[in-house]
Amino acid sequence: MDRSREVDKKEAYVKVHRVLSLYDSLNKGSVVNKQQAAANFSVSEKAIQRDIDVLRVYLEDEALRGESVMASIEYDRLKNGYLLRRVGAWLTQEEVLAIAKILIESRAFTKPELNSLLDKITAQCISDTRKHVTGVIGNERLHYLPVRHDKILLN
């Protein structure tokens, strides 16, 4: 009996870890391909589909309770996988570039502070445009000259 419980606990842990890993990947803007995920976790595609369905129900419940941003997991045929779509939560490419321009032109921050801020705001845009935004502000970031007050403004 105790051996059976240990096996059940381990299986439950493995499933929870798998579901959370899928959610983490989706949350980071990655495309989750069912076949690849099944191979990575050594489970069937049906198991991955059930995990995705569990995440869909969770997101719907959170949205209904007002605890979370409206989000859904959708299948994208062109990308051959599942994506997390947030309604109004991601910054657009133009919004990220506008904020970056304001930060850079203010010259108020030390270079490490500016780089940290730019990394954080570029992480807030849709994964499809993140690489483009990083490239556009890359030259400005490289040649950034802060005002010479040498004071750290952010902790």
Dihedral sign from CA coordinates of 5, 14, 41, 74: positive
pTM exceeds cut of 0.75: no
Closest CA to 133 of 102, 99, 103: 99
Most distant pair of Cα atoms in the chain: their distance: 70
Both tokens assigned to 139: 């030259």
State residue 81's pLDDT score.
97
State residue 150's pLDDT score.
67
Both tokens assigned to 78: 């062109």
pLDDT profile of the chain (155 residues), mean per 10: 77 93 90 97 97 94 73 93 81 88 90 91 79 89 81 71
